[in-house]
C-alpha cells in the first residue's frame, strides 16, 4: 500500500517553521525509503503471535520444567530463538494486552487496570495499533481467544451488535472470550455478535446487583464441580461459579472443557482461509488462567493437577497451529512469536490442588515473584521467535518487551510509525530476528507500581501496600525503602544493594520519574 505524498508535506508557517517542516519531511521520506527497500525484495511474512495466559518463565520444558512435557513449545525453541530476558509489558493481563496492541505502557492511561467483563473498550477506535499498522501494509488481521480489553461503550447490549470492538482498531476477524474464563458473560463473541444466542433468551450481565434467577456459588456449593478459594462465587455456569452475575443466553454459554478445542479450531480456520495472502493472527489462549478445566483427554497427563494438565493442553494447541502451517506449506514464510501475558500464579481463585501438587516445579523459574509482582517473575516470561531460514536457532540474552512488537513488526512490514503511534515502542527487530545481541537499554516494569531495568540493574522504588498478596501468596515488591538488585549476579533478587549504592539508586529513581512524566519513551522524530 502506497503512502500518499501529502502525508509528508510540510505545514505552512514562517521561515523557521517551513525549514523544520522540510527537515521533518526529509527524515520521514528517508525512513520510508529504507523500510520500503527492506521489504520490496521479499514477500511479507505471515505473522502468528501465540499469547499464553499466566504462563511462567519456568512452565515449559525448554525453560527448565521437568514435571510437564511441552514438545510443541520445545520444538519452537529448537527451531527458533529463545529469549532469556523477554518481558510482558505488565504483570497482569489487561495492562499487558493494552501495551502489546498500542505500543504504550498501560500506566499512562487511566482505566487500564484489570477489567470486568462489562467494561467498555479501552483502546480508542482509530488510534494506530499493531493490527491497524499491519492491515495498512496489506495484511489480513485476526484475533482469536481472550480479549479482556473491554467491548462497546461501557453499557454493552449483549443481544445486538457489540461495538466498538476489535474491528474498530484494525482486526478484520475476531472470535473472542470477552474477558476471562472466570468472569461473566461466559459466551463467545464472533465479529461483534454473541455466538449461538437465542433472541428469546436475552443476556443480562451485572457486576453490581444480582440479575436473574441463576444459582450462585455462595449459596449453592452443592452445584459446583470446582470450588472457589477466594471470590469467584457468583453466577454458576457449567458447574463453576464466576465473578459477576449473568442471566439468559443459555444456548450460547460455553463449555469450559471444550474451550481449547473451540479456539484452536477457529485459529486454524483463520489460517486456512487466508493462506493466499499475508495474514496476522493474534491467538490469545485462555490456558493456563483459572478456571483450569482441560479437556478430559488431558486430565491426569502431568500429575500436577489441572494447572499442569492445562499446560499440556496449551502445548497441544501450539502444536495444532504449527501443524497447520506445515500442512499448508506456510511455515517457511511465517514468523511465529510465542509468549505470555504475565508471570505465573498458582492459586488464583479456585481450589484445584495446584499448590498441593506443585512439588519441585518452579513456575517462575529462578525468578522472584509472579503475576501481580514488581519482581522479575511478574513480567519475565517465555519468548520464542521462529522464522525458518531467517532466524537462526539459538538463545538470546537481549532485553526485549512485548510493548516493542508494534514498532518492530511495523518495520518488518515496511510501515513507518505515525508520530502519535507506539509512544513506548522501540524497534528491536534486529534483536527479535537474532541479528543483534542488543535489545533495549532500559525497561519500565509495571505491577501497580513501577520498577526500572537498566541492563542488569533493577530498581524497585519504595511503595506502599501489602508486601505479600495473601490470597495468591505472591510477593509484590512493595516496601518502605528502595530495592536495588544486580540481576547478573543475583537473578533471584535476594541481595538488596540500595544502601551500598545510593548514587545509582538516586540516578535510576530520577530516570524512572522522568520516564513516567515524559508521556513517552520512544523519541518522537
- Exposed e or buried b for every residue in 418-431, given b needs 16+ CB within 10 A? eeebbbbbbbbbeb
pLDDT score, position 142: 99
Q: What is the pLDDT of residue 38?
A: 47
Residues 473, 432: one domain? no
Cell numbers placing 140: 489480513
Would you say residue 226 lies in a domain? no
Kindly report the three-state secondary structure assignment for every residue of 191-252: CCEECCCCCCCCCEEECCCCCCCCCECCCCHHHCCECECCCCCCEEECCEECECEEECCHHH
Q: What is the pLDDT of residue 40?
A: 52
Question: Same domain, yes or no, for 372 and 486?
Answer: no
Find the radius of gyration of the CA atoms of the chain: 23
Considering the candidates 12, 36, 62, 93, report the single residue annotated as catalytic. 93
Sheet (strand 483-486) strand order: 442-447, 449-454, 457-460, 483-486
Is 383 found in the same domain as 261?
yes
Residue 400 sits in the same domain as residue 480: no
Q: Specify if 280 maps to a domain.
A: yes
* pLDDT in the model for residue 525: 57
Q: Cell 482486526 identifies what position?
A: 171
- pLDDT tops 60 at residue 22: no
Q: Tell me, yes or no, whether 338 lies in a domain.
A: yes
Whether 465 maps to a domain, the answer reads yes
- In this predicted structure, the answer to whether residue 5 has a pLDDT above a threshold of 80 is no
Q: Within a domain: residue 245?
A: no
Residue 103 has pLDDT above 90, yes or no: yes
Domain membership flag for residue 506: yes
Confidence (pTM)? 0.92
Predicted local confidence at residue 492, as pLDDT? 99
Which stretch of DSSP H or E encloses residue 139?
none
422 within 8 A of 523, measured Cβ to Cβ: no
Residues 334-350 as b/e (b if ≥16 CB within 10 A, e otherwise) read: bbbbbbbbbbbbbbbbb
Domain count, the chain: 2
For the segment 319-342, the average pLDDT, to the nearest whole number, is: 98
d(CA 482, CA 500): 12
Q: Find all residues with CB under 8 Å of 500, minimum gap 6, and list them.
A: none
* Tens digit of each residue's pLDDT (9 = 90 or more) over 158-172: 999 999 999 999 999
- Residue in 162, 161, 51, 182 with CA at minimum distance from that of residue 116: 182
At residue 39, the pLDDT reads 46
Give the residue from 397, 416, 440 where a domain finishes: 440
Q: Are residue 268 and residue 408 in the same domain, yes or no?
A: yes
pLDDT at 3: 36
Q: Name the residue among 103, 95, 129, 99 with its Cα closest to residue 425.
A: 103
Looking at residue 275, its pLDDT comes to 77
- State the DSSP code for 107: G
Of 40 and 94, more confident: 94
**pLDDT bucket at 41, cuts 50 / 70 / 90:** low
* Residue-level pLDDT at 14: 45
Residues 462 and 419 reside in one and the same domain = no
Extended beta strands in 227-356, E state: 236-237, 240-241, 245-247, 279-284, 334-340
Where residue 523 falls among pLDDT bands split at 50, 70, 90? confident
| pLDDT mean over 377-384 | 99
Instruction: For residues 369 and 378, give the distance between their C-alpha atoms in angstroms, rounded to a whole number.
Output: 6
Task: Quote the mean pLDDT of the chain.
Answer: 93
Beta bridge partners of 187: 253
Per-residue cell: 442: 532500559
The arithmetic mean of pLDDT across residues 451-465, rounded, is: 98
What average pLDDT does this structure show over 89-98? 99
Contact 367, 491 (CB under 8 A): yes
pLDDT at 501: 98
62: annotated active-site residue = no
The mean per-residue pLDDT over the stretch 200-226 comes to 98
What residue numbers bound the domain in which 460 lies?
443-518
Catalytic residue among 148, 286, 361, 446: 148
Q: Which residue has the higher pLDDT, 6 or 430?
A: 430
**What's the confidence (pLDDT) of residue 276?**
83
- For residue 27, name the pLDDT band (cuts at 50, 70, 90): very low
Q: What is the CATH number of the domain that holds 153?
A: 3.40.720.10
Residue 18, pLDDT score: 43
The x, y and z cell numbers of residue 197, run together, are 444466542
> What is the reported pLDDT for 15?
42
CA angle 469, 473, 476 (to 5 degrees): 45
SS3 letters across 144-162: EEECCCCCCCCCCCCCCCC
148 included as an active-site residue: yes
Residue 475 has pLDDT above 50, yes or no: yes
Q: What percent of the chain has pLDDT over 90?
A: 90
Residues 6+ apart with CB under 8 A from 521: 105, 423, 424, 426, 442, 444, 515
Q: Are residues 307 and 397 in the same domain?
A: yes
Q: Tell whether 209 is covered by a domain.
A: no
Q: Which of 459, 432, 456, 455 is nearest to 445 (CA)?
A: 459
pLDDT, tens digit, for every residue of 342-376? 999 999 999 999 999 999 999 999 999 999 999 99
Residue 37 binned pLDDT confidence (cut-offs 50, 70, 90): very low
Co-location of 318 and 397 in the same domain: yes
Residue 16 belongs to some domain of the structure: no
Q: How far apart are CA 371 and CA 289, in angstroms?
A: 11
Residues 482 and 507 in one domain: yes
Looking at the fold, whether 481 and 507 belong to one and the same domain comes out as yes
Q: Same structural domain for residues 316 and 428?
A: yes
Q: pLDDT tens for residues 274-317?
A: 878 899 999 999 999 999 999 999 999 999 999 999 999 999 99
Amino acid at each position: 500500500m502506497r503512502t500518499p505524498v501529502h502525508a509528508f508535506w510540510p505545514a505552512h508557517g514562517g521561515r523557521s517553521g517551513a525549514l523544520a517542516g522540510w527537515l521533518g519531511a526529509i527524515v520521514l521520506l528517508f525512513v520510508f525509503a529504507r523500510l520500503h527497500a527492506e521489504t520490496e525484495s521479499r514477500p511479507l511474512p505471515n505473522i502468528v503471535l501465540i499469547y499464553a495466559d499466566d504462563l511462567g518463565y519456568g512452565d515449559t520444558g525448554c525453560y527448565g520444567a521437568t514435571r510437564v512435557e511441552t514438545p510443541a513449545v520445545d520444538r519452537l525453541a529448537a527451531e527458533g530463538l529463545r529469549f532469556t530476558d523477554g518481558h510482558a509489558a505488565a504483570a497482569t493481563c489487561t495492562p499487558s494486552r493494552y501495551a502489546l496492541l498500542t505500543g504504550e505502557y498501560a500506566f499512562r492511561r487511566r482505566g487500564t487496570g484489570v477489567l470486568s467483563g462489562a467494561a467498555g473498550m479501552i483502546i480508542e477506535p482509530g488510534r494506530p495499533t499493531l493490527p491497524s499498522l499491519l492491515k495498512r501494509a496489506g495484511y489480513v488481521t485476526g484475533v482469536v481467544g481472550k480479549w479482556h480489553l473491554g467491548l462497546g461503550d461501557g453499557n454493552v447490549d449483549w443481544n445486538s451488535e457489540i461495538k466498538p470492538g476489535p474491528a474498530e482498531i484494525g482486526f478484520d476477524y475476531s472470535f473472542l472470550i470477552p474477558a476471562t474464563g472466570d468472569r461473566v458473560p461466559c459466551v463467545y463473541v464472533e465479529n461483534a455478535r454473541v455466538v449461538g444466542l437465542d433472541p428469546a433468551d436475552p443476556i443480562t450481565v451485572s457486576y453490581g446487583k444480582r440479575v436473574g434467577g441463576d444459582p450462585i456459588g455462595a449459596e449453592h456449593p452443592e452445584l459446583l464441580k470446582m470450588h472457589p478459594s477466594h471470590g469467584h462465587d457468583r453466577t454458576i455456569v457449567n458447574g463453576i461459579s464466576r465473578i459477576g452475575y449473568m442471566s439468559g443466553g443459555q444456548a450460547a454459554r460455553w463449555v469450559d472443557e471444550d474451550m481449547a478445542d473451540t479456539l484452536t479450531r477457529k485459529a486454524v480456520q483463520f489460517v486456512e482461509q487466508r493462506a493466499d495472502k499475508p495474514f496476522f493472527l493474534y491467538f490469545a489462549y485462555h490456558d493456563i488462567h483459572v478456571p483450569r478445566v482441560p479437556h478430559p483427554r488431558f486430565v491426569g497427563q502431568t500429575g500436577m493437577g489441572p494447572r499442569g494438565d492445562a499446560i499440556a493442553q496449551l502445548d497441544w494447541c501450539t502444536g495444532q497451529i504449527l501443524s497447520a502451517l506445515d500442512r499448508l506449506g506456510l511455515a517457511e514464510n511465517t514468523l511465529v512469536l510465542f509468549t505470555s501475558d504475565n508471570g505465573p500464579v498458582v492459586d488464583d481463585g479456585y481450589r484445584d490442588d495446584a499448590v498441593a501438587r506443585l512439588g519441585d516445579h518452579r513456575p517462575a523459574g529462578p525468578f522472584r515473584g509472579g503475576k501481580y509482582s514488581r519482581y522479575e517473575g511478574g513480567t519475565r516470561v517465555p519468548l520464542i521467535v521462529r522464522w525458518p531460514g531467517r532466524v537462526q536457532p539459538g538463545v538470546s540474552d537481549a532485553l526485549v518487551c512485548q510493548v516493542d512488537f508494534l514498532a518492530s513488526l511495523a518495520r518488518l512490514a515496511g510501515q513507518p510509525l505515525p508520530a502519535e503511534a507506539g509512544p513506548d515502542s522501540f524497534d528491536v527487530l534486529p534483536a527479535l530476528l537474532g541479528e543483534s545481541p542488543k535489545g533495549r537499554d532500559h525497561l519500565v516494569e509495571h505491577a501497580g507500581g513501577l520498577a526500572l531495568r537498566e541492563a542488569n540493574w533493577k530498581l524497585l522504588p519504595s511503595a506502599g501496600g501489602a508486601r505479600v498478596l495473601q490470597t495468591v501468596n505472591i510477593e509484590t515488591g512493595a516496601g518502605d525503602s528502595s530495592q536495588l538488585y544486580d540481576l547478573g549476579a543475583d537473578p533471584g533478587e535476594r541481595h538488596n544493594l540500595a544502601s551500598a549504592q545510593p548514587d545509582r539508586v538516586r540516578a535510576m529513581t530520577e530516570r524512572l520519574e522522568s520516564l513516567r512524566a515524559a508521556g513517552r519513551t520512544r523519541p518522537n522524530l
